[in-house]
Structure 1
């Protein structure tokens, strides 16, 4: 293993690569990781020297506060390789900003931009051979931070570890998705941490999602905690509803994540001349639209799948299914966004950033 220093990042390269053993045509999402990872510790009130090193397990004290009090946040990003072998990120500034918003909400230190962005760029350059070309191929990027300070006293940690992992990804096909609208469980509450990418938000979803799976549904559309009348998110994604020719989605709030795919789709839909209405969407409104035939589409939006089409939904033990839309907004917007991300069309929004 060789060690060098680049832009204040210590680099320890792996002596050999495991890339030859990877079947890039049959990847399970988030299961395969590249040769290296990025790591930087926060100790004594300041960030230490960052390091890129071979991917390997980490050693932690059993009393580390992440295990006991759940101080853990993350982001989801992607990088793409164009036909010229250049690597591009999609709106990384938005991920960086949201990461630090999550850190603030979880009483964790903000990560300096130089550490986040320089570390990410250098890591992608080192493992760029893992990024496959072609529409549908990408590199999924997982920045995360955990509390590593030892002790079981219930207060914020004084030590943290920030890391970035890379995982090659193919097109994400969710198949036909059927959802159930939540009538009791909630994803988040006013005053809570729903707007943060906190690990606990996702853990809390697993049980009600398991219940939905047992009834034959793949995901849950979450409703507000107070009245369970407002439609908020679908599984781990923001959610859109098309009623007649209007695209509806809930506004971001303390309960709803400010999704980067979500805001990108809104901008693209408006540019395409589609009618977009960002407002609270009521369950009764959706049910009535399903009954009278004006509900044309429902789809989730997120980094992994970009867009995941929802075939139908259940509410109060009644299932409503939609016929496939002939002029699908979901298909149009997914094609436009993935084409832009893969540099197959002009980026008129200025969202793509070249890895230098």
Structure 2
């Protein structure tokens, strides 16, 4: 498989890498950690000015009208830099709303995103072990959501709600009278909020196909971030174990440590392959449900396993919050919790396979199946 980006896609990656490098040095990340800011606001404004927040948004709405591959190139660089900005949430939500025909509320929300306003995305109804937390009844939304990223700062919320005839995507104005917020901070220094909705109007309601599409784009986006986080984490760890000595030898020369680094690299490349397949299918508008579930499970394993090993071989330095390595573990844990556990997605994949048990051997079928 050829993983190389095209010249135009490489230009997006290079622009993102250069931008994040200016705002995400270890010193500036430490400043953000202690500032109490819910996200990197100055960096977000630079992303908006550069158009990085509008890659997926259609040209008719003012966006760049490009594909998931271009967004992948940017998100991998974001993950490498640990840049705390809501890039994927803004444009995945806006691109979903831009497909709604004849809705003034949807158009207004898309234009708000284009202007740099925030929109929170929650898939908690799909992944919560406690079942549906939001309900859609008579055009109003009821229920509670927990630790919604930037829920206290966002203008809108795009979330999954349970209706009488299945799941629906609903757009809610977070300034509405029926919305209560309790703000907090996630371990990766991203602002979150618990949201309680009572009689909150659903400005836009989308069908179950939109729910599935949004969840697949969310899986691809968070997996791209995890790919970037792991790349930088492994590079830093390899450099550390190549210099850190015990018994007058670099610890990287010990067979166990070398094997752990190799295992992490293999996991990263396996996830990269699955990620590339899902992104390609999304850009080709092919059905992608099983690929998304499999990738999500891989990403959770990649982040948590490599994160723990990297922190372990750093010894005491790995848990010292004045040393950069702890941030990578925080990001791995936050990404693992954002849109459902690996176990949840493996169960969903198993259910999909059970429901599609007449497909036969996959390579006997057209790729679109």
- What is the TM-score when the length of structure 1 is the normalising length? 0.27
Higher relative contact order (Cα pairs below 8 Å, separated by 6+ residues): 1
TM-score, reference length from structure 2: 0.26
Q: Identify, as 1 or 2, the structure richer in strand.
A: 1
The structure with the greater share of residues assigned to helix is: 2
